Amino acid sequence: MLNITFISDSTSSEIYPLNVGRCESTLHFGARSAAQQWNEALGKMNGDDIELNSRLLPTSFAISIIKGLKPGDILTFKGDFIAKIISPNSDKTQNLELENEIVDENSLLIAESAADYFELCERGISEDLERLKLAWSARTLSESERDAWRLSGVIIHGELEKIHVSPGVKIRSCVINTEGGDVVLGPNSEIMEGACIRGPFTIGESSQVRMGTMIYGPTSIGKHCKVGGEVSNVVFHDYSNKAHGGFLGNSVIGSWCNLGAETTSSNLKNTYGEVKIYSGGAKSLVESERLFCGLLMGDHSKTGIHTAFNTATVVGAFCNVFGAGTPPKHIPSFSWGGSEGLEIYKVEQAISTARKVMARRNLTLSPENEVDILKLFSESEGDRQK
């Protein structure tokens, strides 16, 4: 059986806060995690084990390169480790450098920052589309169905062949536009009445788009999520909610997050200038060469109602953010508070909340998980002292 091991390198610190407590390979490249896509794409290879850079994204080019490697090959690109093929039947190794001239800037994608994940959402959906439809048993609609959908209250602009519906989907009266890209509805997902959706867009298993929601693609929603309000180019990881009003754009939300009613994030400075983003490597705000960036939030973080985030705010894992005014642009993991000051979110309370939240989804926070949270609390102590 093929076994893929994902290797984090020194640059992985720039994926903060999304990788706090998790490997970069578990982050969503489009609709699903890079790890899940890699396993499906390479599943028919020979039994040799593979090591992959955890930031390497499964584009068709990258998949073809990995499939072309031989046992013992170690591949690098511009000094970065890319992949290694480990075979019990070969004790030979060969170091290979991927030549610059055969790689353009869009063919080999290696995540360099947390913001890359919303910027590459459209590419991720496109690269995974055929595998995704197969995994979700999604049926592609045909033009002959347009009138039937219209009579049921679903207005579709663009090609029906770009809508893919999985078993158990519920679609109420809504508007779907495929002129910008495909729309894939995962198993048992629900689009409530009054929603307006522009592709590219995906929604995972048992997730909901609430009544009157406005979604601009490229956006992806993980499984068991509830999303409402106005959303533009956002990646929601599994088990996270933004169920109420408020705007969120050019953002990435980790798993087990909950954004209180009317939580809103700016995604563009009033000066239309380039934004600075907190760097997990430099431990400070750095120039990002980006005009658009909203909220980057780690796992298990929450906001109170009417929370307003400044452009390019970075929130660590296990934070509870609330209060009037805009919070700091960087909120370290295990923080409690907002614009009026931050306190330490007691780790015992963080664990208790995580246990309750997961129980609502019939999942259990294991003793091993609790040990991991305690470790994260200890490892992030330096950030809270700055």
Instruction: Return d(Cα 315, Cα 300) in angstroms, integer.
Output: 10
What one-letter code names the amino acid at 4? I
For the stretch 53-87, pLDDT in tens is 999 999 999 999 999 998 889 999 888 899 999 87
Question: Between 367-379 and 347-359, two packed helices, what is the crossing angle to 10 degrees?
Answer: 140
Predicted confidence at residue 98, as pLDDT, reads 75
Count helices and strands in the chain by DSSP H and E runs: 8, 35
| Per-domain boundaries in the chain | 4-113, 128-384
- In words, the CATH class of domain 128-384 is mainly beta
Instruction: Return d(Cα 228, Cα 107) in angstroms, integer.
Output: 34
Predicted confidence at residue 140, as pLDDT, reads 98
Closest CA to 190 of 215, 214, 165: 165
- Say if CB 143 and CB 165 are below 8 A apart: no
Where does the pLDDT of residue 96 fall: very low under 50, low under 70, confident under 90, or very high at 90 and above?
confident
For the stretch 238-251, pLDDT in tens is 999 999 999 999 99
Q: What is the pTM of this model?
A: 0.95
Look at strands 308-309 and 330-331 and give their pairing.
unpaired
Q: Report the mean per-residue pLDDT for the chain.
A: 94
Closest CA to 261 of 282, 236, 243: 243
